[in-house]
Structure 1
Amino acid sequence: MDALSLLIDQFRHMAWADALVLTTIIASPEAERDGYILGKLRHLHVVQKIFLDVLRNSPINPQETNDLDVKALSNFSQDVHVGSMRLLAALTPVELERVIKLPWSKTATKKLGFEVAEHSLADALVQVPEHSAYHRGQIAARLRELGVDPPMTDYIAWIWRHKPDAAWPCSA
């Protein structure tokens, strides 16, 4: 499997996992109202959109999800995933090696105390599902605290299910 095909699968998995988590949250009124979960969802989905906007050379808006409830976040996320798949479908393997600059690299350099390394488009694309998985894990832990059984969203579980498409709980 080539790198671009693997990235496409990573993004397809991310959409499936996001939709599954959102479906679980919407099915639980307590989880849907939980401030911690809502905050993590807003952050997770705005970061996905910010990366998409940077890669499309569009303006970014870090506050774009600040006022969205869970159902609105579901619609927002679905739109972001559609846009991400369009972006990936238009790429070539050669483009993945292109060095890109993220607008927050200078801030990261100051915050981390070292000069951040150059990174490729492929590196940036890998970051999106990795970051999302991290926050889905935090959400899963909170769901357990609320007595809700979180869904199995592991990549291998998606493979075992024959790589299904995302089943969004709300339609855009």
Structure 2
Amino acid sequence: MKTIKSMLNHLYWADGRILDALEASDTKDKELLKLVRHIAVAERVWLSRLQGQGSAQYSLWEDTEELAAIQQMFEENAEQYRIYIEGLEESELDKMIDYASQSGVPFRTSVRDILLQVLLHGQYHRGQINRALRMDSAEPAPVDYITFARL
């Protein structure tokens, strides 16, 4: 549980860093903004599933130009994940969660695997964003876990 909590703390930090990099770049690249919004919405989708709620109301791929709205979503996600994790016993990590994908396909996945999905999914897309920032001669955000761990 200690590792998952530490990795979630990294996620909150990395979400903030990537938003800062996008804001500093003053990018108007709608695909990058769509991608960072996708990260925030996916975090929320998985949290809803962990909480036993549906997630059909969330659209994973929408255009946006509002970094402030995404930042607010990241902050709300972090607050809700903290509450969820604090109430979670280590023995519950192997509990199976029944849910439907965004397209309605039923699945059953452990809490542990869902949390790992959230952690890895965001890092994958932050890497894509950083690559695009570099290609646009903007400063990427160092979001590696080791950078966070050294703080």
Same fold (TM > 0.5): yes
**Partner of residue 83 from structure 1, selected from 64, 75, 80:** 80
What residue number does 2:3 align with? 6
**Partner of residue 33 from structure 2, selected from 32, 35, 38:** 38
What TM-score comes out, normalization by structure 2 length? 0.89
Looking at structure 2, the residues matched to 132 and 28 of structure 1 have their Cα atoms a distance apart, in angstroms, of 20
Q: Which structure has the highest strand share of the two?
A: 2
Cα deviation, 1:135-161, whole Å, max 9, x if unaligned, reads 001000111111112121100111111
- Say if 2:11 and 2:119, in contact at 8 Å, map to a contact too: yes
The Cα shift of 1:25 comes to 0.9
How many percent of aligned residue pairs carry the same amino acid? Answer: 26
- Say if 2:133 and 2:140, in contact at 8 Å, map to a contact too: yes
Looking at structure 2, the residues matched to 52 and 107 of structure 1 have their Cα atoms a distance apart, in angstroms, of 17
What residue number does 1:137 align with? 127
What residue number does 2:111 align with? 121
What residue number does 1:166 align with? none
Matched AA of 1:76: M
Cα deviation, 1:46-94, whole Å, max 9, x if unaligned, reads 1000001111123322227836411210111111111011101110011
Figure out how many residues of one structure are paired with residues of the other and give that number.
Answer: 149
**Residue range with higher mean Cα deviation, 9-18 or 67-76:** 67-76
What CA RMSD, in Å, does the superposition of the two structures yield over aligned residues?
Answer: 2.2
Larger Rg: 1
What residue number does 2:43 align with? 48
* Bigger relative contact order (CA 8 A; separation at least 6): 1
What TM-score comes out, normalization by structure 1 length? 0.79
Q: Unpaired runs of 5+ in structure 1?
A: 110-115, 162-172
